[in-house]
Amino acid sequence: MRGKSILLVIGGGIAAYKSLELIRRLAERGVKARAILTGAGAHFVTPLSVSALTGDKVYADLFSLTDESEMGHIELSRAADLVVVAPATADLMGKLAAGLANDLASTALLATDKPILMAPAMNVRMWQSPSVRRSAGILARDGVQFVGPNDGDMACGEFGPGRMAEPLEIVAAIEKMLEVRGGALDGFKALVTAGPTQEPLDPVRFLANRSSGKQGYAIADALARAGADTVLISGPVEIAPPSNVTLRKVVTAREMLAACEAELPADIAVMSAAVADWRPDIAANSKIKKDTEHKAPAIRLIENPDILATLARHKNRPRLVVGFAAETDDVLANAVGKRARKGADWIVANDVSGNVMGGDRNQVHLITAASQEHWPEMSKTDVAHRLVQQIARQFQERS
Ligand code: CTP
C-alpha cells in the first residue's frame, strides 16, 4: 500500500488517541494520511499532535476561506484513495446514514467518491441502540465497510462491544480495502466480455448499441493486476486493450458465446458486454439495394443466445459468475430479477438512462443473493478496482 493516501476523519471519543498511533503505523508503511478533526475530536486530541504526525495541516472548518482556497472540501474528500473514520461516533454514523452535512467531516463523507472504512467507538448501549443499529445497517448497504468495534472493558466502566479496533487491526482493514494484494488472484482464470456486439444485416450494415467497452476493459485490467490469467472477449470498440490480458476480438453475439465457451473452464466470469439481444434473421451476402418503388425492406429479428445465462448453467460453470444489468427504469427490482433469471451469482446494476454508455464514470449497485450495496458514483476504473477487491475477498474466504 506504499504510496497510497487516506483521508482520516477523527471523531470525538476517548479512542481518538489511538488514531494518532494509526497515523504513525500508516506512515511506517508509506501511506500518507491527511486528517479532518471534528469539533468533538479536538476535545480529545489536539490539532497540533495530529498535524505533527501527518506532517500536514489539520482540516477542521467547512467555512475556512484559507482551507477552501488551498484545497476545497470536495477535492479533499476525493484526493485520497480511501476515507477512514476513526473513531466513528454514533453522530458521524447517523449523519452519513441520513445524508446530513453540516460540518467538514460530514460534508467530506457525503461528497467522497472513494470507499469508506469506519472504526466505530462508543458506549455498549449506544452501539446496541436501535438507531445506531439502523445507521450501521444503512451504511453497510451503502457499501461502507466496518472494522470493529471489539468487545472489552470500556472507558465508561461497562463491558461489551464498543471499543475501537486497535490501530494494527485498522491498518489490516485498510490494506485489504486499498489494494488487492498483488497476487490475490494468482492461479485463477478470469473471462471478461466487453463492448457491444454487431449483428450484420448485410456486408455494410449492422445492428449495435452505444457500449464503449470502457467498464469491461477496466475490469479485465484490474483482474489481471490482481494476478488472474485474464481473457478479454471484446466486441468492436475504439479503445486500446490492457497489455496484461489475452484479447479475443469478436463481432457477433454468437461469436462471443463461442469464444467464451472455448475458454472454459475458468474460475471467474464477468459478463459486462452489451450483447445485442436480437439479430436480423438473415444477414444478406451482398448489399441490400433500394427498391425501385421505394418500399423499405422489413427486417425480422430473432433472439440471440444469452451468454451470461448459458455460462451460468454450463457444465463447466465458472465458480463465480458476475453479470451486469443495464437498466433505464426500476434499476434495483429489474436487476434482482435478472440475477435470479440468468443464474448469476452477482449482478452489477447501473442506470444507463444518463451518460453512462461511453462516459468515464459509473454509479452501480452490487447485488448478491444475500445483499445489495449501493456504491457512490466513481470512475469506471474505481468501479473495476472495487469489484475485483470483492472478487478477491470472495475467493480468499472460500479457500
Ligand atoms: N447478456 C448476455 N447475452 C445476451 C444478453 C445479455 O450475456 N444475449 C448479459 C450481459 O452481458 C449482462 C447481462 O446479460 O451481463 C444483462 O444484460 P442486459 O442487457 O441488462 O439484459 P437483457 O438480457 O438485455 O435483459 P432485458 O432485456 O430484460 O433488459
* Averaged pLDDT, 143-158: 84
* Averaged pLDDT, 194-205: 96
Range in 65-69, 82-86, 313-317 with the lowest mean pLDDT: 65-69
Per the listing, cell 448485410 goes with: 202
**How many whole angstroms from 306 Cα to the centroid of ligand 1?**
7
In whole numbers, what is the pLDDT of the chain averaged over residues?
91
Q: What is the pLDDT of residue 163?
A: 92
pTM: 0.74
**How many whole angstroms from 251 Cα to the centroid of ligand 1?**
16
Query: By alpha-carbon position, which residue is closest to atom 27 of ligand 1?
Result: 277
Contact 110, 141 (CB under 8 A): no
Q: What is the pLDDT of residue 398?
A: 62
On the question of pLDDT at 263 being above 90, the answer is: yes
pLDDT above 90 as % of the chain: 72
What CATH architecture is 5-178? 3-Layer(aba) Sandwich (3.40)
Residue among 275, 321, 367 to mutate when testing ligand 1 (max atoms within 8 A of CB): 275
On the question of pLDDT at 115 being above 80, the answer is: yes
Residue pLDDT, tens place only, 118-147: 999 999 999 999 999 999 999 988 889 999
Fold match flag (5-178 vs 189-398): yes
194 three-class SS: strand
Which whole-number Å values give the CA distances from 281 to 201, 253, 258, 301, in the listed order?
8, 13, 19, 5
Q: What is the pLDDT of residue 171?
A: 95
* Averaged pLDDT, 236-261: 95
On the question of pLDDT at 182 being above 70, the answer is: no
Integer distance in angstroms from the first to the last C-alpha of the chain? 23
Provide the pLDDT confidence category of residue 70 given band limits of 50, 70 and 90. Answer: low
Provide the pLDDT confidence category of residue 176 given band limits of 50, 70 and 90. Answer: confident
Provide the pLDDT confidence category of residue 233 given band limits of 50, 70 and 90. Answer: very high
According to DSSP H, which parts of the chain are helical? 16-28, 47-54, 65-70, 73-79, 90-98, 104-111, 124-128, 130-141, 167-178, 214-225, 253-262, 307-312, 331-342, 380-398
Please indicate whether residue 260 is annotated as part of the active site.
no
Q: What is the pLDDT of residue 66?
A: 66
On the question of pLDDT at 221 being above 70, the answer is: yes
196 lines ligand 1 (CB under 6 A): no
On the question of pLDDT at 318 being above 80, the answer is: yes
**How many whole angstroms from 275 Cα to the centroid of ligand 1?**
6
> Using CA of residue 251, residue 253, residue 254, residue 259, what is the dihedral sign?
positive
Spell out where 154-205 has E strands. Answer: 159-163, 189-194, 199-200
Q: How far apart are CA 268 and CA 28, in angstroms?
A: 35
326 lines ligand 1 (CB under 6 A): yes
188 three-class SS: coil
Provide the pLDDT confidence category of residue 65 given band limits of 50, 70 and 90. Answer: low
Ramachandran assignment for 88, one of left (phi > 0), alpha (psi -120 to 50 degrees), beta (any other): beta
How would you list the strands of the sheet with 82-88, edge to edge?
Answer: 58-59, 32-37, 5-10, 82-88, 116-120, 145-146
277 lines ligand 1 (CB under 6 A): yes
Domain edges within the chain: 5-178, 189-398
Fold of 189-398: Rossmann fold (3.40.50)
Residue pLDDT, tens place only, 98-114: 999 999 999 999 999 88
Q: What is the pLDDT of residue 281?
A: 95
153 three-class SS: strand
Contact 357, 212 (CB under 8 A): yes
pLDDT above 70 as % of the chain: 95
Of the residues 156, 282, 302, 340, only one is catalytic, namely 156
